[in-house]
């Protein structure tokens, strides 16, 4: 499994933090331009804009933003966050798919690059990212939702261009690493987490995600897998007498035990054993119990 190198991880963190700042600034400006926060629509708004405004205000209340019943004004803080999140991650996921040859043009059924996607979007007279969403909907329908009102919000050109510049600056290697998506989600919360921790205030429902949505590193995942599935496999070998007791008696250390239960291409390097008495070994994490004379898992 390819793991994201430290230098690229640090660069990715800086990029994602800046992307959140830029996306939230763009989202707030766009939502205010639609009068989502205002007590009534602006006079110049078209019927379609007024309809979108109503949907956005309703969605904001579903997210927990409050409407003042006296003045009609409405908080949009949570809506701003969701709008920013959805716009940036739509772009990011489109590139993840494209870099892995998984961005499929629905009519032709073939993988396309973002450059080809942009050309097709021009022919269809639509936005690159809206077209990319259309291509990705069949594979990831819950991420690229055509009916999501926040994705119908258009960010100002200055904000959109900056987000595209940030996306283009991410090294292609990032999109090939197995743990990149996990880091992306954690880095999205990095700045907010630091602000919450520095404030010293009590954690609330609004701040809880920032301090608890942490990514489990690659080696931790392997440790958990090896000491659950790996321990089950080792216990199965013992219970079915596939490995003679004499072979276990020859084991001088944990590495010897791992070699006994290894599979082609998988040596369970994080699977832990402890010695029982003088010549008996036990896997720490399994559940099957045998007598002390044999390999005992408990």
pLDDT of 120 higher than 80: yes
Q: Work out the burial of residue 153: count CB atoms within 10 Å of its CB; fewer than 13 is exposed, 13-18 middle, 19 or more buried.
A: buried
So what's the pLDDT on residue 218? Answer: 64
Nearest to 87 by CA among 133, 134, 141, 139: 133
Selection from 123, 87, 92 nearest residue 108 by Cα = 123
Shortest CA distance to 184 belongs to which of 258, 52, 90?
90
Q: Is the pTM of this model over 0.85?
A: no
In contact, 273 and 282? CB cutoff 8 Å: yes
Q: State mean pLDDT over 128-147.
A: 81
- Chain segment 50-99, per-residue pLDDT in tens: 999 999 999 999 999 999 999 999 999 999 999 999 999 999 999 999 99
Helix segments in 34-156, DSSP class H:
47-63, 77-99, 114-123, 128-136
Residue 280 forms beta bridges with which residues? 276
pLDDT band at 25 (very low <50, low <70, confident <90, very high): very high
Q: What angle do CA 114, 118, 119 make, to 5 degrees?
A: 120
Query: Residues for the chain: how many in total?
Result: 298
Among 78, 100, 90, smallest CA distance to 207 is for 78
Query: Which range has the worst mean pLDDT, 1-15, 147-161, 231-245?
Result: 231-245
pLDDT of residue 210: 57
Average of per-residue pLDDT across 284-291: 39
């Amino acid at each position: 499994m390819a793991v994201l190198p430290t230098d690229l991880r640090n660069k990715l963190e800086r990029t994602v933090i800046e992307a959140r700042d830029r996306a939230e600034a763009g989202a707030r400006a766009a939502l205010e331009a639609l009068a989502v926060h205002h007590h009534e629509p602006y006079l110049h708004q078209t019927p379609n804009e007024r309809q979108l405004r109503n949907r956005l205000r309703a969605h904001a209340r579903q997210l927990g933003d409050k409407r003042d019943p006296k003045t009609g004004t409405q908080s949009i803080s949570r809506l701003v966050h969701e709008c920013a999140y959805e716009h940036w991650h739509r772009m990011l996921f489109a590139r993840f798919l494209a870099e892995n040859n998984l961005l499929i043009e629905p009519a032709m059924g073939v993988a396309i690059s973002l450059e080809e996607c942009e050309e097709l979007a021009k022919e269809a007279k639509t936005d690159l990212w809206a077209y990319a969403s259309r291509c990705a909907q069949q594979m990831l329908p819950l991420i690229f939702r055509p009916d999501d009102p926040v994705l119908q919000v258009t960010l100002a050109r200055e904000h959109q261009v900056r987000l595209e510049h940030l996306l283009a600056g991410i090294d292609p290697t990032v999109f090939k690493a197995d743990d990149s998506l996990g880091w992306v989600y954690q880095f999205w919360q990095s700045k907010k987490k630091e602000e919450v921790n520095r404030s010293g205030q009590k954690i609330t429902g609004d701040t809880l995600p920032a301090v608890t949505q942490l990514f489990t590193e690659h080696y931790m995942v392997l440790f958990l897998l090896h000491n659950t599935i790996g321990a089950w496999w080792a216990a199965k070998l013992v219970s079915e007498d596939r490995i003679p007791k004499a072979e276990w008696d020859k084991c001088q250390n944990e590495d010897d035990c791992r070699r006994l239960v290894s599979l082609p291409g998988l040596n369970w390097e994080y699977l832990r054993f402890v010695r029982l008495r003088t010549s008996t070994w036990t896997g720490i994490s399994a559940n099957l119990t045998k007598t002390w004379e044999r390999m005992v898992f408990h």
